[in-house]
Amino acid sequence: MARLAGKIAIVTGAGIGIGQAIAKRYAAEGAHVWVTDINNETAEQTVADIKASGGAATAMRVDVSQGQDLTALIRNVASAHGMADILVNNAGILIRGEVRSLTDDEWTRLREVNLDGVLRLSRDALPLLRKSKAGSIINISSIMAGRGLRPLAAYTATKGAVTALTKGLAIEYAPFNVRVNTISPGYIETAITDRMLRLPQARKMLTDKTPMGRLGFPEDLTGAAVFFASDDSLYCTGAELMVDGGMAAGL
């Protein structure tokens, strides 16, 4: 039996990469997935792929940094289903650069997408998730969240805040039977990491630092995402699961 049969899931940043892989896996496990992305074309393509495989999904353009987009998303999900079971806060951006040269606009954009969007959507979705018998919020952070990384100090700061926010929300939302957990990926082959991984020396360095001897793929995250979304994790909240081939253990 599909592990997410009958569940309603919202996945942000699901047009490509990790979000897309999670959305497709959720649909294959029986969920109706709301595929949201700032790029409507990629969201629509993900939904088309899901439907071609026999799954159920709805596409919607959402910029998680814009409050009106989040309000519209919650309103549409409420109108269609009256509730939600799963929220995956995956949407994120990466801006490289030393902090001393980071502009205020760049920092604001990083914070609004990577952190503010997570907080706002977790807040706004709570009334829908409370109607589920086992609501689950899954925040996508990073193994670098608690580490300094040049030239990504600002990025890692936002991810560190997401990890901390997860723990606070886990305590706050527990009385409502809503679990909140974090998945922290290692280096995954996505559009965000493509620029760096195209450099042979960078790829070799990161692969050498990964005990399992390879970098990850978006599909490597989907098992953890299903676990936290399913009833298998009913007594699990405030947890952080590293999906990194062992990299964090050796750092």
Residue 73, classed as helix, strand or coil, is: helix
Q: Write down the residue that tokens 């269609």 correspond to.
A: 80
Q: Write down the residue that tokens 């990850």 correspond to.
A: 216
**Alpha helix stretches (DSSP H) within 31-152:** 40-52, 67-81, 104-111, 117-129
155 carries an active-site annotation: yes
Which pairing describes strands 32-37 and 8-11: parallel, antiparallel, or unpaired?
parallel
Spatial distance between the Cα atoms of 218 and 43, rounded to a whole number of angstroms: 16
Is the previous residue joined to 127 through a cis bond, with omega within 30 degrees of 0? no
The dihedral of CA 245, 214, 250, 203: what is its sign? negative
Residues 6+ apart with CB under 8 A from 244: 143, 184, 185, 186, 187, 210, 216
What's the number of CA atoms in the CB half-sphere (13 Å) around residue 28?
14
Q: Is 79 exposed, middle or buried (0-12, 13-18, 19+ CB in 10 A)?
A: exposed
Q: Which residues are catalytic?
A: 155
